[in-house]
Structure 1
C-alpha cells in the first residue's frame, strides 16, 4: 500500500516510510493523552456523590481541549 501511495504522490518510498513512522509516533502520544483523560473523567464520574458534582464534571468535560504540548 505504501509503495502505491509513494508512487502516486511522486515521493520516494523511503521518505514516505519515514513520515509514516513519524506520524505514527505523534498519534500514539495524542491517543495516550485522550485515553488517559477519558479514564480520569470516568474515574471521577464513578466517585461522584452529589448532583452538583455531576454538573461540575459535565461542565469540565464540555470545556476540555486537547493540550499535547
Structure 2
C-alpha cells in the first residue's frame, strides 16, 4: 500500500521527464530476510538511494491485535 503509492509517485515524476532510474524487486524476486541475496543485489545494482517500504499488512484487526 505505502510502497505502491511511493512507486506510483516516482513513476509519475519519471514520466514527467525527471532523470530517474527505478529498480524494483518483488518479494518473490528478492527475499529481504536473506542477507546474502540483498548484499548481492546491492553490489550488482549499486543504487544511489534506497526506499524500503516492505511490511506485513493485515488490516485494522491485525493492527489492533498485534500493535508492535
TM-score, scaled to structure 1: 0.30
Whichever of the two has the greater Rg, that structure is 1
Higher share in helix? 1
Higher relative contact order (CA 8 A, sep 6+): 2
